[in-house]
Structure 1
Amino acid sequence: MDLLLVEKALLGLFAAAVVAVAVSKLRGKRLKLPPGPLPVPVFGNWLQVGDDLNHGNLAALARRFGEILLLRMGQRNLVVVSSPPLAREVLHTQGVEFGSRTRNVVFDIFTGEGQDMVFTVYGEHWRKMRRIMTVPFFTNKVVQQYRAGWEEEAARVVDDVRADPRAATEGIVIRRRLQLMMYNNMYRIMFDRRFESMDDPLFLRLRALNGERSRLAQSFEYNYGDFIPILRPFLRGYLKICKEVKDRRLQLFKDYFLEERKKLSSTKPADNAGLKCAIDHILDAQQKGEINEDNVLYIVENINVAAIETTLWSIEWAIAELVNHPKIQKKLRDELDAVLGPGAQITEPDTQKLPYLQAVIKETLRLRMAIPLLVPHMNLHDAKLAGYDIPAESKILVNAWWLANNPDHWKNPEEFRPERFLEEEKGVEANGNDFRYLPFGVGRRSCPGIILALPILGITIGRLVQNFELLPPPGQDKVDTTEKGGQFSLHILKHYTIVAKPRVF
Structure 2
Amino acid sequence: MDLLLLEKALLGLFAAIVIATVVSKLRGKRFKLPPGPIPIPIFGNWLQVGDDLNHRNLTEYAKKFGDILLLRMGQRNLVVVSSPELAREVLHTQGVEFGSRTRNVVFDIFTDKGQDMVFTVYGEHWRKMRRIMTVPFFTNKVVQQYRQGWEDEVLEVINDVKKNPEASTNGIVLRKRLQLMMYNNLYRIMFDRRFESEDDPLFNKLKVLNGERSRLAQSFDYNYGDFIPILRPFLRGYLKICQQVKDKRLQLFKDNFVEERKKLASTKATDNNRMKCAIDYILEAEQKGEINEDNVLFIVENINVAAIETTLWSVEWGIAELVNNPHIQQKLRNELDTVLGPGVLVTEPDIPKLPYLYAVVKETLRLRMAIPLLVPHMNLHDAKLGDYDIPAESKILVNAWWLANNPAQWKKPEEFRPERFLEEEAKVEASGNDFRYLPFGVGRRSCPGIILALPILSITLGRLVQSFEMLPPPGQSKIDTTEKGGQFSLHIMKHSTIVLKPISF
Q: Matched residues in 1 for 2:254 and 2:195: separation?
A: 17
Deviations 1:353-394 (A, max 9, x none): 101000100000000000000000000000001021100000
Q: Matched residues in 2 for 1:221 and 1:489: separation?
A: 15
Indicate yes or no: 2:287 matched with 1:280: no
Closer/same/farther in 2, CA of residues 270 and 383 from structure 1, 3 Å limit: farther
Q: Residue 257 of structure 2 aligns with which residue?
A: 257
Indicate yes or no: 2:17 matched with 1:16: yes
Q: Matched residues in 2 for 1:191 and 1:125: separation?
A: 24
Closer/same/farther in 2, CA of residues 218 and 177 from structure 1, 3 Å limit: same
Closer/same/farther in 2, CA of residues 8 and 137 from structure 1, 3 Å limit: farther
Closer/same/farther in 2, CA of residues 273 and 15 from structure 1, 3 Å limit: farther
CA shift, 1:17, in A, is 3.7
Q: Residue 98 of structure 1 aligns with which residue?
A: 98
Indicate yes or no: 2:357 matched with 1:337: no
Contact 1:275 1:281 in 2 (8 A): no
Q: Matched residues in 2 for 1:130 and 1:489: separation?
A: 22
Q: Matched residues in 2 for 1:250 and 1:14: separation?
A: 43
Contact 1:362 1:421 in 2 (8 A): yes
Q: How does 1:269-348 map to 2 (within 5 A)?
A: 269=269, 274=274, 276-348=276-348
Q: How does 1:173-188 map to 2 (within 5 A)?
A: 173-188=173-188
Deviations 1:396-449 (A, max 9, x none): 000000000000000000000000000000010000000000000000000000
> Which residue identity lines up with residue 55 of structure 1 in the other structure?
H
Q: Residue 26 of structure 2 aligns with which residue?
A: 25
CA shift, 1:49, in A, is 1.0
Q: Matched residues in 1 for 2:274 and 2:159: separation?
A: 34
Q: Matched residues in 1 for 2:38 and 2:358: separation?
A: 44
Q: Residue 135 of structure 2 aligns with which residue?
A: 135
> Which residue identity lines up with residue 368 of structure 2 in the other structure?
R
Contact 1:468 1:502 in 2 (8 A): yes
Q: Matched residues in 2 for 1:472 and 1:131: separation?
A: 44
Closer/same/farther in 2, CA of residues 15 and 241 from structure 1, 3 Å limit: farther
Q: Structure 2: which 5+ runs fail to align?
A: none
Indicate yes or no: 2:475 matched with 1:475: yes
Secondary structure of the 1:16 match is helix
Closer/same/farther in 2, CA of residues 146 and 260 from structure 1, 3 Å limit: same
Secondary structure of the 1:221 match is coil
Closer/same/farther in 2, CA of residues 395 and 270 from structure 1, 3 Å limit: farther
Q: Residue 449 of structure 2 aligns with which residue?
A: 449
Q: Residue 392 of structure 1 aligns with which residue?
A: 392
Identity of aligned residues (%): 80
Deviates more, 1:273-282 or 1:6-15: 6-15
Closer/same/farther in 2, CA of residues 204 and 9 from structure 1, 3 Å limit: farther
Q: Matched residues in 2 for 1:8 and 1:343: separation?
A: 77
Deviations 1:137-168 (A, max 9, x none): 00000000000000000000000000000000
Closer/same/farther in 2, CA of residues 231 and 270 from structure 1, 3 Å limit: farther
Secondary structure of the 2:30 match is coil
CA shift, 1:272, in A, is 8.3
Q: Residue 404 of structure 2 aligns with which residue?
A: 404
CA shift, 1:266, in A, is 1.3
Secondary structure of the 1:184 match is helix
Indicate yes or no: 2:206 matched with 1:206: yes
Q: Which runs of 4+ in 1 moved over 4 A?
A: 6-15, 270-275
Closer/same/farther in 2, CA of residues 283 and 480 from structure 1, 3 Å limit: same
Secondary structure of the 2:71 match is strand
Closer/same/farther in 2, CA of residues 478 and 8 from structure 1, 3 Å limit: farther
Contact 1:191 1:261 in 2 (8 A): yes
Q: Matched residues in 2 for 1:376 and 1:104: separation?
A: 11
Q: Residue 39 of structure 2 aligns with which residue?
A: 39
Contact 1:53 1:487 in 2 (8 A): yes
Q: How does 1:60-75 map to 2 (within 5 A)?
A: 60-75=60-75
Q: Residue 56 of structure 1 aligns with which residue?
A: 56
TM-score by length of 2: 0.97
Q: Structure 1: which 5+ runs fail to align?
A: none
Q: Residue 170 of structure 1 aligns with which residue?
A: 170
Q: Residue 432 of structure 1 aligns with which residue?
A: 432
Contact 1:378 1:393 in 2 (8 A): yes
Contact 1:15 1:230 in 2 (8 A): no
CA shift, 1:236, in A, is 0.4
Q: Matched residues in 1 for 2:345 and 2:422: separation?
A: 24
Q: Matched residues in 1 for 2:384 and 2:266: separation?
A: 52
Q: Residue 144 of structure 1 aligns with which residue?
A: 144
Q: Matched residues in 2 for 1:70 and 1:120: separation?
A: 24
Deviations 1:93-120 (A, max 9, x none): 0000000000210000000100000000
Q: Residue 497 of structure 2 aligns with which residue?
A: 497
Contact 1:91 1:98 in 2 (8 A): yes
Q: Residue 363 of structure 1 aligns with which residue?
A: 363
Closer/same/farther in 2, CA of residues 14 and 233 from structure 1, 3 Å limit: farther
Deviations 1:255-292 (A, max 9, x none): 00011001111123389865520000000000000000
TM-score by length of 1: 0.97
Q: Matched residues in 2 for 1:8 and 1:36: separation?
A: 33
Q: How many residue pairs were aligned?
A: 501
Q: Matched residues in 2 for 1:118 and 1:272: separation?
A: 33
Q: How does 1:370-381 map to 2 (within 5 A)?
A: 370-381=370-381
Closer/same/farther in 2, CA of residues 366 and 17 from structure 1, 3 Å limit: same
CA shift, 1:21, in A, is 3.7
Q: How does 1:97-136 map to 2 (within 5 A)?
A: 97-136=97-136
Indicate yes or no: 2:71 matched with 1:87: no
Closer/same/farther in 2, CA of residues 271 and 31 from structure 1, 3 Å limit: farther
The two structures, once aligned, show a CA RMSD in angstroms of: 1.7
Contact 1:224 1:231 in 2 (8 A): yes
CA shift, 1:19, in A, is 2.4
CA shift, 1:25, in A, is 3.4
Q: Residue 219 of structure 1 aligns with which residue?
A: 219
> Which residue identity lines up with residue 268 of structure 1 in the other structure?
K
Q: Matched residues in 1 for 2:177 and 2:216: separation?
A: 24
Q: Matched residues in 1 for 2:202 and 2:148: separation?
A: 24
Contact 1:272 1:281 in 2 (8 A): no
Deviations 1:298-321 (A, max 9, x none): 000000000000000000000000
Q: Matched residues in 2 for 1:410 and 1:32: separation?
A: 32
CA shift, 1:23, in A, is 1.8
